[in-house]
Amino acid sequence: MSTLTIADVEQAIDITCDTVIRNEKYFSDLDGLAGDGDFGTSLATGFKVIKADLPTIDKSAVGAMLLKISMICSKHVGGSSGPIWGTGFMRAGMASKGMTEIDYATLVAMVGSALEGIMARGGAKRGDKTLLDALIPIHETMQAMDGSDLKAVLAAVAGVADKAIDETRNLVAHRGRASQVGERSANTPDPGIVGIATILNDWCKHYGVDFVPNAPELNR
């Protein structure tokens, strides 16, 4: 199977909820190293609502479901994460509007559309040490694969996100985490990237995809 049904997407989101909720404190602690320590709480606040509403929300189409999730982010997620994740889900939903099944090309387009939306929303570019530094190479990797084996795609993107943690660790943040942070940002990973990587790592575990992460943040 290389297409995804509404139920498949719903399940992936449900797993994501568990990951985000379970890591609330950890993600906030990571954000506290160089930021304000609200990333985990902001995200978990929203994903608790998503988890609760998921069984009953509009599932007439993948797009409809994702737009509803975007709206939950808009209502319940504060900080930068609200607009970023809300925009991501909104764009992914628009790219899958009306569809009850999505093929691989659509999936890649959804990721591409989400990251373009996030870039437009927040003005960040690659190398600014944000979750885009995971999403952009993930999208590139997906584009380079044919999608015939979705487990292989998952293993590949999980690896990309894993690598993004270490590759950006020593970057100076250009957006949201400026040079003034000085020692406070040195050697701290970006919590958004760790968030993406943790979600993908959990997906691997859940879907039985063999993947051994490298970053210490994924080996706790």
Partner 1 sequence: MKKFVNDPANFVPEFMAGVLAANADLLEGNLEFQMIKRKTIDASKVAIVQGSGSGHEPAHVMAVGPGMLTAACQGPVFAAPPVDACYETIKAAATDAGVLVLVNNYQGDRMAWDMACEMAEAEGIKLKQFIINDDVAVQDSLYTVGRRGVAGNFFVMKAAGAAAEAGADLDAVYAVAEKVNANVRTMGVALTSCIPPQKGDVIFDIGDDEMEVGVGIHGEPGRERTKIKPADDITKLLYDAVQSDLPFSSGDRVALMVNGLGGTPPAELYVVYNKAAKLAAETGLTIARNYVGEYCTAIEMAGVSLTMLKLDAELEELLAAPAETACRIF
Ligand X SMILES: Nc1ncnc2c1ncn2[C@@H]1O[C@H](COP(=O)(O)OP(=O)(O)O)[C@@H](O)[C@H]1O
Determine the interface stretch with Mg ion among 6-14, 29-37, 82-90, 117-125 (rule: CB under 5 A).
29-37
Cβ-Cβ contacts under 8 Å for 161 (sequence gap 6 or more): 134, 138, 193, 196, 197, 200, 201
Instruction: Return the amino acid letter for 29.
Output: D
The nearest distance, CB 119 to ligand X, in angstroms, is: 7
Does position 191 interact with ligand X (CB under 6 A)? The reply is yes
76 binds, among partner 1, Mg ion, ligand X, none (CB under 5 to 8 A by kind): partner 1
User: Which listed residue (19, 23, 38, 161) binds Mg ion by CB under 5 A?
Assistant: 38
Q: How far is CA 85 from CA 5, 88, 122, 147, in A?
A: 22, 5, 11, 25
Does position 79 interact with ligand X (CB under 6 A)? The reply is yes
Window 86-125: contact mask with partner 1 (x via CB under 8 A): xx---------------------------------xxx--
Q: How far apart are CA 21 and CA 96, in angstroms?
A: 26
Q: How far is CA 127 from CA 172, 175, 186, 215, in A?
A: 9, 9, 15, 18
Rounded (10°) angle between helices 81-95 and 62-76: 170
Q: Which residues bind Mg ion (CB under 5 A)?
A: 31, 35-36, 38-39, 79
- Interface positions with ligand X (CB under 6 A): 31, 35-36, 38-39, 42, 79-81, 84, 118, 122, 124, 130-132, 175-176, 190-193
